[in-house]
Amino acid sequence: MRILVVGVGKVGKTLAESLTQEQHDVVLIDNDETVLRRCEDLYDVMCVQGNGANAQTLIDAGVDHADILIAATAGDEINMLCCLIGKRLGAKYAIARIRDPKYNESLTLLQHELGIDLAVNPERATALEISHLLRFPFASNIESFARGLVEMVEFRAQPADAVTGCALRDMPSRLPGLPRVLFAAVERGGQVSIPTGDFVIQAGDRVYVAGDPINITNFFRYLGRDTHAIRNVMILGGGRISYYLARMIAPVGMRVTMIEIDPEKAAVLSEDLPKVNVLCGDGTNQDLLEQEGLQNMDAYIALCNRDEENLMTGLYASTQGVPKVIVKNNRVNYADVIGRMGLDTIISPVQITGAYILRYVRARIGGHGTKVEKLYRLIDGKAEALEFIAREGDGYIGVPLKDLTMRPNSLVALMVRRGKVIVPHGNDTIEKGDSVVIITCESGLTDLNEVIRK
């Protein structure tokens, strides 16, 4: 596919890397010549210097032959205008990053009138993911499939966990009370495995388990993980993610304290968020954190613009015994190092946005096949979880899984049929309309027929 990306910031670079790896024809558009030159050196892309909201710039970039136009500049209005012009000039689909809360209520109207096929709000999507983690405090990360009927949860195995040191096939006999979940993926020493029956969980492994929400919750209770409800939350930083998050969690009974260093911004937030205790101060000051009751918090969430401040204050909150610490960090390459420092729950708006857009791109490749419904990148992008809806007439329908050929390094993790979650065995079959969740160590899969065949 020919894909135009307007705006080469963090999101633009992430998309350029992912899309070129998936063999798309990518054109980058930006005003900054230095940034474009650097991208030409790193990725197999064509670069066009200029304003992406200028019709001539888009024409020079070949917008009339573009399958998808992605507008990811720092300005919402520029992104919307870029999509409007791009669609008028011939782009088949248009994606806009729209971040400002003031556009939320009229977003559907804006999309219709401006020809925007997909609107992406990184901050709101990030806040939504954090809100899920607060409802499931035992998880490092959590993803949902099949309209919430399936949860996939990441945790780090500890020496005292009952599953540590036990082969997966031996768990039903050795741990008869263990709720039934699927061990979907494991990272150990930087290497990702899709575990088979003889795989043995070791302390320190990053493990993904999948199942319905009740079994997932009972699984962690069986391990003795803390599952108490979170009531008191402290948020560092008063940016857009913090605003969206507070709007989500304050109405459900969580007591929220937000610390913002800018007096004007703090005053606006205090007025806009009447249920939130907004404080003006330096959240990196340990004395202030202690004075505001950090030790009594159930969760601490660091959402400053500077990753370094998020990491330092997150580590401090962890040493003070805060049960749930979440930090924002867009430096994906350091995720494993950060995890070894004791911070397992890292949130990256760039990764969340990239995965959201990639899912849309993959769903529009070709005209036939069983397309991607959801896509999540797991273990710092080393594995993917994909959701498909099984389609009538495909070769795998009605055939026992043991008689199908599975793509290497891939696994049929779960199926959902008429609201029932199925952990599949060899004799199970995929039927028309099933939601099928695939775990794979490959990138770029767009069709369920690429994963399993007769």
pLDDT at 445: 82
Is pLDDT at 366 greater than 60 in this prediction?
A: no
CA distance 26 to 452: 29
pLDDT of residue 351: 86
Q: Does residue 375 surpass a pLDDT of 90? A: no
The per-residue pLDDT for 105 is: 76
- Report which of residues 190 and 88 the model is more confident about: 88
Predicted local distance difference test score (pLDDT) of residue 51: 94
Query: Fold for domain 131-223?
Result: Alpha-Beta Plaits (3.30.70)
Going by pLDDT thresholds of 50, 70 and 90, the confidence category of residue 328 is: very high
* pLDDT mean over 324-350: 79
Phi then psi dihedrals of residue 71, to 5 deg: -100, 110
pLDDT at 38: 93
Q: Which pLDDT band, with edges at 50, 70 and 90, does 334 fall under? A: low
Please tell me the predicted confidence (pLDDT) of residue 103. Answer: 87
217 against 37, higher pLDDT: 37
Separation of alpha carbons 241 and 359, rounded Å: 22
Opening angle at CA 125, ends 141 and 135, nearest 5: 45
Percent of the chain with pLDDT over 90: 54
d(CA 69, CA 39): 18
Is 366-453 a CATH 3.20.20.30 domain? no
Which strand (E) or helix (H) includes residue 256?
A: strand 255-260
Residue linked to tokens 């003031």: 102
* Average pLDDT for 381-387: 86
* pLDDT for the residue numbered 381: 76
Spatial distance between the Cα atoms of 185 and 179, rounded to a whole number of angstroms = 18
CA distance 204 to 155: 10
Determine the pLDDT at residue 169: 92
pLDDT band at 333 (very low <50, low <70, confident <90, very high): low
Structure-token pair, residue 164: 């540590």
The whole-number average pLDDT for the span 421-433 is 90
Range with top average pLDDT, 81-85, 224-228, 364-368:
81-85
Beta strands 420-422; 410-417: pairing state: antiparallel
Domain spanning 2-120: which CATH class is it, in words? alpha beta
Residue 141 neighbours by CB under 8 Å, 6+ apart = 133, 153, 154, 345, 378
- 191, exposed or middle or buried, with CB in 10 Å at 0-12, 13-18, 19+? exposed
- pLDDT value at position 28? 96
From 384, 363, 356, select the one nearest 447 (Cα to Cα).
Answer: 363
The fold adopted by the segment(s) 232-322 is Rossmann fold (3.40.50)
In the DSSP assignment, the letter for residue 228 is P
Which of 144-153, 244-253, 314-323 is the least confident region? 144-153
Question: What's the pLDDT at 345?
Answer: 85
What CA–CA distance (Å, rounded) separates 362 from 67? Answer: 12
Burial of 17: CB neighbours in 10 Å, binned 0-12, 13-18, 19+: middle
Please return the burial class of 67, using the count of CB atoms within 10 Å of its CB with bins 0-12, 13-18 and 19+. Answer: middle
Mean pLDDT on 168-175? 93
Lowest mean pLDDT among 85-94, 299-308, 391-400, 443-452: 443-452
Per DSSP, 429 falls in state B
Residue 59 identity (one-letter amino acid): I
3-state SS, residue 161:
coil
pLDDT computed for residue 340 by the predictor: 67
Question: Tens digit of pLDDT for each residue in 198-225?
Answer: 999 999 999 999 988 888 888 988 998 8
Higher per-residue confidence, 361 vs 273: 273
Q: Write down the domain spans for the chain.
A: 2-120, 131-223, 232-322, 366-453
Phi, psi of 55 (to 5 degrees): -60, -40
**Residue 419 has what pLDDT?**
85
Q: What is the pLDDT of residue 332?
A: 65
CATH topology match: 131-223 vs 366-453 = yes
Neighbours of 432 (CB within 10 A): 13
368 has pLDDT over 70 = no
pLDDT reported for residue 173: 92
